[in-house]
Chains A and B, each alone.
Chain A
Amino acid sequence: MSVGTRLENANPLIFQRTGERLQTAKDEDEDVADPIDDREIFDLIRSINDPEHPLSLEELNVVEQVRVRVDDQENTVGVEFTPTIPHCSMATLIGLSIKVKLLRSLPERFKIDVHITPGTHTSEDAVNKQLADKERVAAALENSQLLEVVNQCLISSARTS
């Protein structure tokens, strides 16, 4: 997959970034059980860079904290993302970047499901099926060119967060 020179959505709406998470004394206390919560997952993905724009997925409203569902006990994480336009050709790549970021960051016990927000993309079912197929995701990540593009989205996330 290569990033085209012409932007599909040249003037996207830009949303404000949320503030940093407030640290409390409880966070420092090693004796308090501290399950992974929605905000932590959101913090992992919000600064992922959009493949086209020098903006984060949060700034484009592609990811929102309310669309993150984590159940630490059940070892499940669900993320819905909203493409900026209904026929965005980058939808699979964005979903893959979110998935890879979570696969690399979370303990292996977690089952990670990444979906398009229902009703926001013309090929929603096809993209969801592709992202859910771990065999195809594994094969895609063995493709060095594609991995390079994904890493670019994630590298910028490390820089800005």
Chain B
Amino acid sequence: MKDTLALLQKFNAHPDSRCWYVAWNPKGTLLASCGGDRAIRIWGREGDSWECKTVLQDGHQRAVRKVAWSPCGNYLASASFDATTCIWKKKNDDFECLTVLEGHENEVKCVAWAPSGNLLATCSRDKSVWIWEVDEEDEYECVSVVNSHTQDVKHVVWHPTQELLASCSYDNNVCVYKEEDDDWECRATLEGHTSTVWGLTFDPSGQRLASCSDDRTVKIWKECQSGGTDAAWKCVCTLSGFHGRTVYDIAWCPLTGALATACGDDGVRVFKEDETADPDQPVFSLSAHVPKAHSQDVNCIAWHPKEAGLLVSCSDNGEIAVWNYQSEV
């Protein structure tokens, strides 16, 4: 490990609560955080420090589990344990709640926008994944409900450029969906983890998917052109022995290709790919590790979309930390 992960800043984002998740807006000028205090906070950089610009407090009755920005940066979606998803519209420096998406039977665990901005996916403890269509009038309509998982669905993520969706679950599996005749279908089930899969991230090209799990491993999956109609995803690499407890989140940097993880052992780790290795048998090595990045579980990790190496993490202790990852080439 010769690369460095230097702490730039640490601040209390959700006092006396958990910070569940953080998300950068597409330009990287704002950071949204959410937590057990039912609040969403929007942070902006002021000189050397981070200031809370707005608090969105009255949207949800229970914990806000995850937040996601639309590709245009004008909308923010929030998924809550109160079984709803709120859509917030940015108005100058403020946000107003545009609509509340209802339908899931219980806790909504995650929300994600498709790269076009016309589709939104939500997933829930009720085992389903819902696809919503957004029209020009800001109206949301559920176009598909997919029940491919047999348990609580933890996370959904869209392909960086295509209308391809992936989800992961308490049932230990990852599912990949595509639209087929106006309906969304599970096209591949990725089996291999031995416990809950908590997080997913596509690589910058969208050809590979990384998953992280309660089984303390990270798996890299690659789409294989099998010649048939259904794409097959194969596990081409398993990173085991690096994480002391559950791996709660994973993020592939769109700019550098570095892979970061958030772990229940309080550590933040960055893995780098050996570019000389066979693409069908990739090799990743641990390039930086901060063992006590936070004083409690690290829940989320997010790379800045424009500034290479800028990384944020958040923790059960309500804190957000900003890191600078420097890779020695």
* Contact surface of A with B, Cβ cutoff 8 Å: 108-109, 111, 129, 132-136, 138-139, 142
Within the complex, the shortest CB–CB distance from A96 to chain B, in Å, comes to 16
B264 at the interface (CB under 8 A from A): yes
- When the two chains form their complex, are residues B18 and A138 in contact, meaning their CB atoms are under 8 A apart? yes
B10 within 8 A of A: no
**Residues on the B chain within 8 Å of A129, using CB:** 170, 195-196, 214
CB distance from B227 to the nearest CB of A (A): 38
Contact A142–B296 (Cβ < 8 Å): no
Contact partner of A135 (CB less than 8 A), chosen from B65, B295, B296, is: B65
Residues on B with beta carbons closer than 8 Å to the beta carbon of A132: 214, 246
CB distance from A145 to the nearest CB of B (A): 14
Q: Mark B54-78, 1 if CB is under 8 A from A, else 0.
A: 0000000011010000000000000
Most A-side CB within 10 Å, residue of B109, B152, B154, B317: B152
Q: Which residue of A lies closest to B81 (CB)?
A: A139
Report the minimum CB–CB distance from B39 to chain A (whole Å): 15
Count: A-B pairs, CB below 8 Å = 39
Specify the chain A residue showing the minimal Cβ separation from B317: A108
Q: With a CB–CB cut-off of 8 A, which chain B residues contact A108?
A: 295-296, 316-317
Q: Does B203 contact A (CB under 8 A)?
A: no
Separation in Å of the B94 CB from the closest CB of chain A? Answer: 28
Q: Is the CB of B63 within 8 A of A142?
A: yes
A136 touches B152 (CB 8 A): yes
**Nearest Cβ in chain B — how far from A37, in angstroms?**
22
A142 and B154 CA atoms in complex are apart in Å by 18
Of the candidates A109, A111, A133, A138, the one whose C-beta lies within 8 Å of that of B36 is A138
A142 touches B152 (CB 8 A): no
Residues of the B chain whose Cβ atoms lie less than 8 Å from the Cβ of A134: 264, 297, 316
Separation of A109 and B292 alpha carbons in the complex (Å) = 11
| Distance between Cα atoms of A129 and B265 in the complex (Å) | 17
Instruction: A135 to B20: give the CA distance in the assembly, Å.
Output: 9
A142 touches B214 (CB 8 A): no
Q: Is B127 located at the chain interface by the 8 A CB criterion?
A: no
Give chain B residues whose Cβ lies under 8 Å from the Cβ of A139: 62-63, 81, 106-107, 125
- Evaluate contact between B245 and A111: CB separation under 8 angstroms: yes
Query: Please, how many angstroms separate the alpha-carbon atoms of A132 and B170 in the complex?
Result: 12
| Nearest CB in chain A: distance from B163 CB, A | 28
Closest-CB distance, A27 to chain B (whole angstroms)? 27
Chain B 192-217 near chain A by CB (<8 Å), digits 1 or 0: 00011000000000000000001000
Name 23 interchain pairs, CB-CB below 8 A, sorted by A: A108-B295, A108-B296, A109-B295, A111-B245, A111-B265, A129-B170, A129-B196, A129-B214, A132-B214, A133-B170, A133-B196, A133-B214, A134-B264, A134-B297, A134-B316, A135-B65, A135-B109, A138-B18, A138-B63, A139-B81, A139-B106, A142-B63, A142-B81
Q: Report whether A111 and B264 are in contact in the complex, using a CB–CB cutoff of 8 Å.
A: yes
| A-side contacts of B195, CB under 8 Å | 129
* B125 partner residues in chain A, CB cutoff 8 A: 136, 139
Chain B 253-278 interface mask (CB, 8 Å, partner A; 1/0): 00000000000110000000000000
Instruction: A134-B316, A135-B65 are known; give 7 further A-B pairs, CB within 8 A.
Output: A109-B296, A111-B264, A129-B196, A132-B246, A133-B170, A138-B18, A138-B36
Complex: how many Å from CA A109 to CA B125? 28
Output the nearest chain A residue to B195 by Cβ-Cβ distance: A129
CA distance in complex: A109, B316 (Å): 10
Instruction: Compute how far the CA of A134 lies from the CA of B296 in the bound complex, rounded to whole angstroms.
Output: 13
Q: How far is the CB of B318 from chain A (nearest CB, A)?
A: 10
Contacts of A111 in B (CB 8 A): 245, 264-265
Using CB atoms, name the residue of chain B closest to A75: B266
B residues in contact with A135, CB < 8 Å: 65, 109, 154
Q: What is the CB-to-nearest-CB distance from A147 to chain B, in angstroms, rounded to a whole number?
A: 13
Distance (Å) between the CB of A1 and the closest chain B CB? 15
Sorted nearest first, the 5 A-B pairs with minimum C-beta distance are A139-B81, A139-B107, A142-B62, A108-B296, A142-B81
Give the Cβ gap from B108 to chain A, nearest Cβ, in Å.
11
Q: How far is the CB of B24 from chain A (nearest CB, A)?
A: 22
